[in-house]
Amino acid sequence: MKTQLEEKQDVAAQKKVSKDTEKDKQRALDEAKKQGEEALKQKLKDEAGKKKQEVKAKKAKDEEETRRKAEDLKKKREEKWLRRRLK
């Protein structure tokens, strides 16, 4: 049969185990939350990088199209000028 001191020690040990278990659970939850936040930040960063690349590619495409149109217009003007000169 246990003495009161042994029973108190058992109860204290159970409380400590319970408290440690709660701390472990909270640490695990905090770590999962932190990892989730980091994953979300990385996803947003990746999406921003992708969007930036898309914008850069569109800008380059638009600039190339503008340059091509300017060259076409210049050629047409030169051809028109030459036709007038030859008449």
- pTM for this model (two decimals): 0.54
pLDDT at 51: 97
- Count up the domains in the chain and report the number: 1
pLDDT at 1: 66
> What tens digit of pLDDT does each residue of 27-42 get?
999 999 999 999 999 9
pLDDT at 8: 74
Range of 29's domain? 1-87
Contacts of 23 (CB under 8 A, 6+ apart): none
pLDDT at 11: 73
Q: How far is CA 35 from the centre of its chain?
A: 14
Average pLDDT, 10 consecutive residues per value, the chain (87 residues):
74 75 89 95 96 98 98 96 86
